[in-house]
Structure 1
Amino acid sequence: MKILFVWCLAVLFSVHLASAGRVQLRGHARNAAEENLQCTVVSNNLGSNPVGVVIPMKGGDFGYQFDITESTFLSFSDGTNYFGGFVEPGDSIVIAYDRLDFANSISYTGKGREKFVIVHSMMDFKRMARTIAAAAKGRRYPVDDMFAAIDSLKDDVQQRIDLAAKSMSAESHKQLLGALAATQQQAKQSGLVAVFGDSYSNIMANHREKLSEASIAQMKKLLDYDEAFYDSRFYVDAVKSLASMYLEDNIQPITDNFEDRKYQLLVEMLPRKLRTPVLFMTLKWDITTAPGELNERVVLRAAELLADSRWKQHILDLLAARSLLRSGDKAPEFSVQNLSGEKINLASFRGKTVYLDFWFASCGPCHALFKSIAPVKKHFEHDERVVFLTVSVDNEMTWKRAISKFGVKGYHAFTENKLREHPIIQSYHVTVYPTTYIIDPTGRIHAIQAANNPDMLRKQIEEAIAATFPYHSR
């Protein structure tokens, strides 16, 4: 009897652990064109990077089991449609949709479905906000009408969140509210750009005839970030982007030594609780994506402003990793597979300047970069001295379909179904996407995180073409 009692306790304990830390996901996609569903797992831990997971699909059926410890965001793509939601330990989500009629067919059932339904409504919010901004252009006071409509959309989604609050953890509830606040803030900022096509300061100075007193008050409130969401990754990330954009568009043109002072200026415009998380995410972004050489002195000084010693150490570790590759170093060797199924390596391009670009199909910033540098690719289209080498971390089918679907230009290769675990990803320290390099004809790194601006990128490539062998060896 005693043994049986202990065994029962053990079983109950193991079942509790399974339900407490595990998320079950399954579903069916009609008319599925892919063999896999791409999933990105986004933890609320600011120090972590999103993790890619490939979920096999067979006859449209798919299933996966996630082990998590806290409310976590899952983003999915089948190469055509994008969807996602927050999950928490114990959830069991069932997803069904038609790939060719996603909007009218998507359904979420099972434990935790409410969080997916709410995130879906936020995606609708974003789409409707763009329509609202387009309609506001012809109004007497476009800001008044646009912001009121956006606030109404936000209130509708918040009501959904509040009604579903009892069906989720307090942490999931908070994360949804943070994501909603981020969506509202971004929608208003994007709306201003769509209506006026100008910076915040220029709108206030040069478009006064379109601004009522209420408009001006509402625009000023845009700069009042809500510190209640200091522990929401989505909100912190939104503030990072919006505040940095504000500084670059409005403060940089009138500020001496802006690059030396930008992090201090960022901190000064934020409420206390948001300062450390937003500064941390900004530093992390700049270290991993900044084009060319990074001013480490400025970054180190900014790191001293971080109130959390763990995040400060994280920034120091990122700086150390970045310093492993510098301009002038020999580019790491690699071996990947091209569209023809052939193995290619760095030696395959000896004597040429290589623009190396790491990407994946559902990466929005990757496609934005493709669009931005299209004129540069066109300029060097018939120049045999230059190769635009794109390396995808998708599986083979997703990679090939994406090239065709999006018309991606360049010489194409992929990580041979090893996704982000391929040696080239480690060798080139790829932690964010897109990550780009320019490698000169001698096989040395000319630029890390090449310029996004077409004119600057063209100049960088022309400089690399002219390179001989002036560098020291390391």
Structure 2
Amino acid sequence: MRYPLYIYLVCFGIVFLFTGCEYKKNNSVKVTIDYPKLAGDTVSIGRVNMVDVSTIELGKVLLDSAGKGVVEVEVEAPVFAHINGKELAAGILIYPGDEIEIAPSAAGARLAVQFRGDGAAVNQALNETQQIRSEFEKWNGTYYFQLNSEDFLAAKDSLQKSYDHLFSKLKSDTQVSAERLALLTHQTGMHVVSYQYNFAIGKDTSEIPAQVRRVVEHLPIDTVALQSGMFDYSLVASQFFQHRINNAVYEENDQMDSDSLESIFPMMVEKKIKANEYPKPIEDFIRVKSADVQIRLNGLSPNMITLANTIEKEVASEELKKVIREDVSRWEKLGPGKPAPDFTGTTPDGKKLALSDLRGKIVYVDIWATWCGPCVGEFPESKKVHSEFKEDDRVAFLYVSIDRDTLAWKKMVAAGRVPAGHHMLTSADAPESVWNLYHVWGIPRYLLIDAQGRMVATHAVRPSSGNVQGELRKLLSKSRIAQK
């Protein structure tokens, strides 16, 4: 085994964490809120989804006219959560059976919120650690990830000392649970690891201090962090997967043409993950995180469907499997033959244009922006494709810009630097935007829609592939046959 000592320590930590004297059989957690200025506000409690860093809502309550309410949630084990309202945001560590009270602090207090009940002192400290994190985003006026090596090490060491100083006061308090304090200390330690990962991103090896390299070259094998929902562990795992697994597969196979590599990429990543021989909870987590990223980026290729089915059979956690099920469900709604969701935008002359306005035509959609180099780099080939079909009114080319700079977009279109066709500008932020309706994670992105307004491809071939013309002719041929 590759990680015998660490696994032993982590397993010991899990036993300590989940069978200690504070671990209660009652899974219900009761959070009482008494916050007059939040009268009529809805307050929710959630925890992080470790795969995609979204929020899993555990419960919520509408506060009464006095700002009072009770949220009851169920947890099977200790978990880091957060409580949110319009004017309330606080971290909270909850154990099964906890009864916690939240109220505003006295004027002049360091924190706006005060806790009473189970784990009160640790929850106060948890929120103080959030302030420490914010203070160390910059060091002497410079963002920490932009520091030189020497200054970064000084910042990192000072960050750790700040945490140690905070916890030293708690250790002498006999009312503070050693279990809760140990878990909070564990969490801040993971933040220091994440701090180093963020510093190392995009840097050459020579720019990274040796002690930081030793940290970022390996994924922490930390089942406690995973099971207790430590946000920083999710970030660390994402960065490790992207740079040490995903990118490594590309680098190791850089002689393959991109289309051939993409077709087998999911299985190659799976193989590399399994080669690390992680403990099963960690392996399952990384496999699902990998599959989630790939489905979000590339949709449901045949290989991704196969991988999703494999994960359903092999991964133990229902919560992890649920992520992939939801990913698959989202993309199945955009599968071949399904209705293409309608979206609208504004043309360069200020008129409204919708995808549905082109019904009756085969539509090749190009989602782009003026600042996107790869998008603009495809335009010479796009112009060639357009020229072959410019006399055929059965085919439409729709260029959808997500620019925020309207003037830059108009200038580029007016200058003829964008291929001829239909042009619209749309916001990526709106719920009904092309970005959200078609689950766009990056551009350029191409869609192919038939004359009946049905999906042909959510990830259509790009102009430089040389295959767009063939795909369009194939659809035209099918259309002629259907009309006979």
Same fold, TM exceeding 0.5? yes
Q: How does 1:141-160 map to 2 (within 5 A)?
A: 141-156=150-165, 159=168
1:25 is matched with which residue? 32
Query: Which one is further off, 144-153 or 298-307?
Result: 298-307
Q: Does 1:247 align with 2:244?
A: yes
Among candidates 86, 97, 100, match of residue 93 of structure 2: 86
Cα 1:97–1:176, aligned 2, differ >3 Å: closer, same or farther?
Answer: same
1:39 maps onto 2:44 in alignment: yes
Count of matched residue pairs: 367
State the match for 1:231 in structure 2. 227
CA 1:191 to 1:155, structure 2 compared with 1: closer, same or farther past 3 Å?
A: farther
Give, in angstroms, the shift of residue 216 of structure 1: 0.7
**Shift of the alpha carbon at 1:23?**
1.0
Question: In structure 2, what residue type is equivalent to 1:221?
Answer: V
- Classify the secondary structure of the residue corresponding to 2:332: coil
Task: Tell me the TM-score normalised to structure 1 length.
Answer: 0.57
1:157 CA displacement: 5.1
Give the Cα–Cα distance (whole angstroms) in 1 for the partners of residues 174 and 50 of structure 2.
22
Q: What is the Cα deviation at residue 26 of structure 1?
A: 0.5
> CA–CA distance in 1 between the matches of 2:147 and 2:50?
43
Find 1:303's aligned residue among 307, 311, 314: 311
- Does structure 2 conserve the Cα–Cα contact (< 8 Å) formed by 1:26 and 1:62? yes
Check conservation: 1:122, 1:180, Cα contact below 8 A. Answer: yes
The superposition leaves residues 350-402 of structure 1 with CA deviations (integer Å, 9 ceiling, x where unpaired) of 2279999xxxxxxxxxxxxxxx965587766897745447556xxxxxxxxxx
Q: 1:130 to 1:290 in 2, by over 3 A?
A: same
| 1:188 aligns to 2:196 (yes or no) | yes
Does residue 132 in structure 1 map to residue 139 in structure 2? Answer: yes
CA contact (8 A) 1:178 1:232 kept: no
Q: Could you tell me how far apart the structure 2 residues matched to 1:122 and 1:103 are?
A: 15
Distance change (3 Å), C-alpha of 1:149 and 1:49: closer
Letter of the 1:130 partner, please give it: E
The question of 1:272 aligning with 2:268 is answered: no
* Deviation string, structure 1 residues 64-99 (Cα, Å, up to 9, x no partner): 32131333443234446632212232322223269x
Give the AA of the match of 1:151.
Q
| Aligned counterpart, 1:119 | 126
Instruction: Give the 3-state SS of the residue equivalent to 2:357 in structure 1.
Output: coil
Q: Is the 8 A contact 1:287 1:318 kept in 2?
A: no
1:289 paired residue among 292, 296, 315: 296
Aligned AA (1:65): V
Distance 2:247 2:294 in 1: 23
Q: Look up the equivalent residue of 1:220 and give its one-letter code.
A: R
Q: CA RMSD in A?
A: 5.5
Q: Structure 2: 5+ residue runs without aligned partners?
A: 1-23, 254-260, 343-352, 368-400, 414-421, 480-484
Aligned pair in 2 of structure 1 residues 245, 265: CA closer, same or farther (>3 Å)? same
Q: Which moved more, 1:155-164 or 1:256-265?
A: 155-164
Q: Is the contact between residue 236 and residue 278 of structure 1 (CA under 8 Å) also seen in structure 2? A: no
Alignment counterpart, residue 96 of structure 1, candidates 96, 104, 111: 104
Quote the offset at 1:106 in angstroms.
0.7
TM superposition shift of 1:57: 4.4
| Offset of residue 219 of structure 1 | 2.0
Note the C-alpha offset of 1:189.
Answer: 2.0
Relative to 1, partners in 2 of residues 1:174 and 1:444: Cα closer, same or farther, differing over 3 Å?
farther
Could you tell me the percent identity over the aligned residues?
8
Asked if the contact 2:288/2:320 (under 8 Å) is kept, the reply is no
* 1:284, distance to aligned residue in structure 2 (A): 5.6
Shift of residue 107 of structure 1? 2.3
> Which amino acid counterpart does residue 292 of structure 1 have in structure 2?
G
- 1:247-298 CA-partner distances (Å, limit 9, x unpaired): 2686255221583422333444575366324324414633663343444167
Q: Distance in 1 between matches of 2:163 and 2:63?
A: 35
2:31 counterpart letter in structure 1: Q
Q: For 2:402 and 2:357, how far apart are their aligned partners in 1?
A: 23
- The residue number in structure 1 matching 2:62 is 56
Change (3 A) 1:135 1:73: closer
Q: Contact 2:448/2:457 (CA < 8 Å) preserved in 1? A: yes
Task: State the alpha-carbon separation in 2 of the partners of residues 49 and 119 from structure 1.
Answer: 19
Residue-by-residue CA offset, 1:138-191 (whole Å, 9 max, x unaligned):
667234323322332343455467567965594x55653453233222122223
**Structure 1 counterpart of 2:216:** 222
